[in-house]
Structure 1
Amino acid sequence: MDWTHYRFRSLWPLPAPPATVYGVLERPEEYPRWWRQVREVERRGDGTGLIRIRSLLPYDMTFTAREVRRDPGAGVLEIAMSGDIEGWARWTVAPVGAGCLARYDQVVDVNKPLLRRFAVPGRPVFRANHWLMMRAGRRGLLAYLDGRPQAV
């Protein structure tokens, strides 16, 4: 088993139309407004950007994101990532009842030296850290969609 390889899936049931949620998710430069763990997004043009994230644990992860797929009709946004993490991430937004389901899939290898060094004993903590970040992201998006002020 490669202890630095991770697969994640998060499901966010949301009470908003798919097009509305997709419209928010396709603007990553605005993520820091509603997702406090996304600390910085710097657009670099040509479908790339630099992203810095930090959840509960006291370390930042920085990576370059390159747009791979943007398909509003299918509700799909996908990026390739390189830097502290290497791999891909994909949002898929689909209608469910009066709202939608935003599904987040991510497959990455960790390159950050500190995380590689503690890969075996830290794995459960790193997975929990990711889970907390995703939970906070859903809550932030719900508040943002509801028009409530965000804590930054």
Structure 2
Amino acid sequence: MPASYSFSSSWHVAAPLAEVAAAVADLEHYPEWWPQVRAVAKLGPDRAWVRCRSVLPYTLDLVLDAVSRTPPVLEVAISGDLTGFARFVLEPSADGTRLEFRQDVEARGRLALASYVARPVLTWNHARMMAGCRAGLARRACVG
């Protein structure tokens, strides 16, 4: 039986929307700035295979399919160890870009089983992964 997760957060990055959007839309280069994204292989113009590992010793194998690559909405459909979507909605602000993040996924297999006893730890692990995204994106977008 799958285990459902929903995550949302709001961030601010002190960089122009165009720079932030370019970094978020460029899946192939995630490992350069997002430490928890260990590998990316382009499978097509709007499709990539991604391996992610946060703090826990468990690597996720995912396939991301672009749903929207046009700001303000950047969204991917997720399949593999998780199924669902991840979406960033970008909005310009006086001193940079505001990002609204939303992810709804279902875990299957061992990860779903682990959810029954370790949901708080898995949620914490996801928070650490997204903290890496936030910090790395700020560095990447500010450098351009």
User: TM-score range with shorter-chain normalisation?
Assistant: over 0.9
Among residues 122, 128, 134, which one is paired with 1:126 in the alignment? 122
Q: CA deviation at 1:46?
A: 4.0
Q: Return closer, same or farther for 1:139/1:46 CA change in 2, 3 Å cut-off.
A: closer
Match of 2:96 among 79, 94, 99: 99
- The residue aligned with 2:52 is 53
Q: Deviations over 1:121-147 (max 9, x none)?
A: 110000000011111111112222343
Sequence identity of aligned pairs in percent? 36
In the alignment, the residues of structure 2 paired with residue 68 and residue 3 of structure 1 have an alpha-carbon distance, to the nearest angstrom, of 23
1:144 aligns to 2:140 (yes or no): yes
Q: Over residues 3-57 of structure 1, what are the superposed CA-to-partner deviations in whole Å (9 max), with x where a residue is unaligned?
A: 7100001222111111110011110111100001011111111411111100000
Name which of structure 1's ranges 3-12 and 121-130 shifts more when overlaid on structure 2: 3-12
| Higher-helix-fraction structure | 2
- Between 1 and 2, higher relative CO (CA 8 Å, sep ≥ 6) is seen in 2
Cα contact 1:90–1:106 (8 A) shared by 2: yes
Structure 1 residues 105 and 58: CA distance shift in structure 2, 3 A: same
User: How much has 1:79 moved relative to structure 2?
Assistant: 1.0
- Give the distance between the partners of 1:3 and 1:96, measured in 2 at CA: 38
Q: Secondary structure at the match of 1:134?
A: helix
TM, length-normalised to structure 1: 0.88
- Unpaired stretches in structure 2, ≥5 consecutive residues: none
Alignment partners' CA distance in 1, 2:130 and 2:2: 21
Alpha-carbon distance in structure 1 between the residues aligned to 2:8 and 2:50: 20
Kept in 1, the 8 Å contact 2:23–2:140? The answer is no
Asked if 1:81 corresponds to 2:78, the answer is yes
- Matching residue of 2:105: 108
Give 1:30's aligned residue.
29
* Cα root mean square deviation, aligned: 1.7
Tell me if the contact between 1:3 and 1:123 (Cα under 8 Å) persists in the aligned partners.
no
